[in-house]
Amino acid sequence: MSANTFSLQSLLRREAADPAFVFDGTPISRAEFAAKVEQTAAWLAAQGIGKGDVVAVWLVNRIEWLALLFAAARLGAIVAAVNTRYRSAEVTHLLRVSGARLMVVEAAFRAIDFAAILADVAKDEVPALQKLAVVGADAIPTHWPCVRFDAFDTPYPPAPPTQDDIDLPVLLYTTSGTTKGPKLVAHSQRTLAGHAVSVAKTLRLDPQRHSLLAMLPFCGTFGMTSLLGFVAAGATVHVVDAFEAAPALKILSAHRITHSFGSDEMFRRILALTDAPRPFPHLEVCGFAAFQPGWRELAADAEARGLPLFGLYGSSEVQALFAIAQPGDAFADRIEGGGWPMSPEAQVRIRDTETGEFAAEGVSGEIEISAPSRFLGYFNNPDATRDAITADGFFRTGDIGRLRGDGSFVYETRAGDAMRLGGFLVAPGEIEDELKSYDGVADAQVVAVDLKGQARCVAFVIPAGEPPMQETLIAHLRERLAGYKVPARIYLLDAFPVTDSANGVKIQRARLRAMAMERIAAE
């Protein structure tokens, strides 16, 4: 098999259904998309972007996003995916760590004020950034020079010949894991394209019969992996720019969609909009990630109404859809996270967290994975990469699970203190650092709690001098962080509960969680 087999360009098969994509009702054929990729490559080259340069992409789901990714691969450049829910502190961190020279950004989208967020990014904190390219406008108020992203309507000189090194980084995802700041997970064309082909084969996708509703953001591995799998299959992808239940319901019904992937909350909202007993008879697979309480009850209700939910497993490091349940599984097994790996070359093992030995079938421990879909490493962070990979090349996931004994595995929970908020894995330290940056805060701890059926975080703060008001701290965080990271409550303490151990004093995070629930209940 040639190296080109694993390029992103190789996914654009000729023997495929058309259109390739439908964006907001507008069909785009494979030939049209290929042309847009060439136009975008020419545009990037005209901006001085070449091999090894990083371009930050801060866009909702639009054709420009995909064209930029494929064009960057064409030039040997790298795309750093920026979550549209990020705010100034997160954007600053990503730009600084990635060393992005160019950022492609929305002019505006719904209530997101991209210009205001960028105004809070200090220019000297991101010295590599040279200019912005704006989609939908000539410019936005900013510290940096702006150009308009006009690749599709302005001719540029053809891009230089294709770079053929498919093992260099081409896409950077962000992941918090258990560290204080988001790490950048680097993937190559080989890891992305190879996994996309595995997804298409394992799901047995037929370009003439199957179609995807892409309602997850392209900036994350869940959205990108599912999309690339259907591109590899040659099937049509219907895209929503950002999830809303009503448009998703309309597309599912009108276009007889067969596959979709999302969170439990997404499917819950879609089902809530229709009273039909079996509204989607054409749906075959709805892969879901369980982030909210009550997901088992949702799965049972969805099953009764003909919406088949399938548990799955993935991460930025090994990509989403790494594993999925099989249609023949018993319902209780099918909705569990985990399943069978997409790639026949993937290996999953469980390590006992206490003894360090490999665990037997049915015994819980940390999940370790070796697979062709595994990331290259954390971009510009060799220490974190070294810590995440075992001596024999397995990725330490930080997740707890168990082997079933039939080739599948079950994901049980996240190890450590990382929190799942708003569908995203968030490290407490990321929020704690922002709190501690406020003059009136000496120290802070953040824990996750179940608040009215939703996972939210609660902060405990030790004040420095005059105690700050909760409203003031929350307003500070809203300016700096995505909304789902802003604590539902902030409580003041004189000291944190701690335990002395052989390794030093440890904060009792379990006690803090209990305290949070006690105070909320008292309110």
Question: Contact 68/40 with Cβ under 8 angstroms?
Answer: yes
Q: What is the pTM of this model?
A: 0.88
* 123 and 248 housed in the same domain: no
CATH number at residue 51: 3.40.50.980
- Examine the domain organization and report whether 363 and 477 are in the same domain: no
Same domain, 33 and 127: yes
Exposed e or buried b per residue across 210-226, where buried means at least 16 C-beta atoms within 10 angstroms of its C-beta: bbbbbbbbbbbbbbbbb
Cα–Cα dist 117/97, whole Å:
18
CA distance 143 to 91: 14
Residue 79 structural domain: 3-186
What is the amino acid identity at position 150?
A: D
pLDDT score at 465 = 83
Q: Are residues 56 and 151 in the same domain?
A: yes
**pLDDT given for residue 215 in this prediction:** 97
Is there a domain that residue 317 lies in?
yes
The pLDDT assigned to 467 comes to 85
Provide the number of structural domains found in the chain.
3
How far apart are alpha carbons 457 and 450 in whole angstroms? 9
Q: What is the CATH number of the domain that holds 509?
A: 3.30.300.30
- Tokens at 147, concatenated: 């150009």
In a domain, 282, yes or no: yes
Which two tokens mark 151? Answer: 């690749």
Identify whether the C-beta of residue 47 lies closer than 8 Å to the C-beta of residue 72.
Answer: no
pLDDT tens-digit profile, the chain (523 residues): 344 678 999 998 767 878 999 998 999 999 999 999 999 999 999 999 999 999 999 999 999 999 999 999 999 999 999 999 999 999 999 999 999 999 999 999 999 999 999 999 999 999 999 999 999 999 999 999 999 999 999 999 999 988 779 999 999 999 865 445 689 999 999 999 999 999 999 999 999 999 999 999 999 999 999 999 999 999 999 999 999 999 999 999 999 999 999 999 899 999 999 999 999 999 999 999 987 767 888 999 999 999 999 999 999 999 999 999 999 999 999 999 999 999 999 999 999 887 899 999 998 889 999 999 999 999 999 999 999 999 999 999 999 899 998 999 999 877 766 677 877 767 787 898 899 889 899 999 999 898 887 889 999 999 998 888 889 999 999 999 999 999 999 999 999 998 754 444 568 888 999 999 999 999 8
Last residue of a domain, one of 351, 384, 414: 414
368 with 427, same domain: the answer is no
Question: Rounded to the nearest 10 degrees, how much is the dihedral formed by the CA atoms of 331, 455, 378, 354?
Answer: -70
Contact 493, 463 (CB under 8 A): no
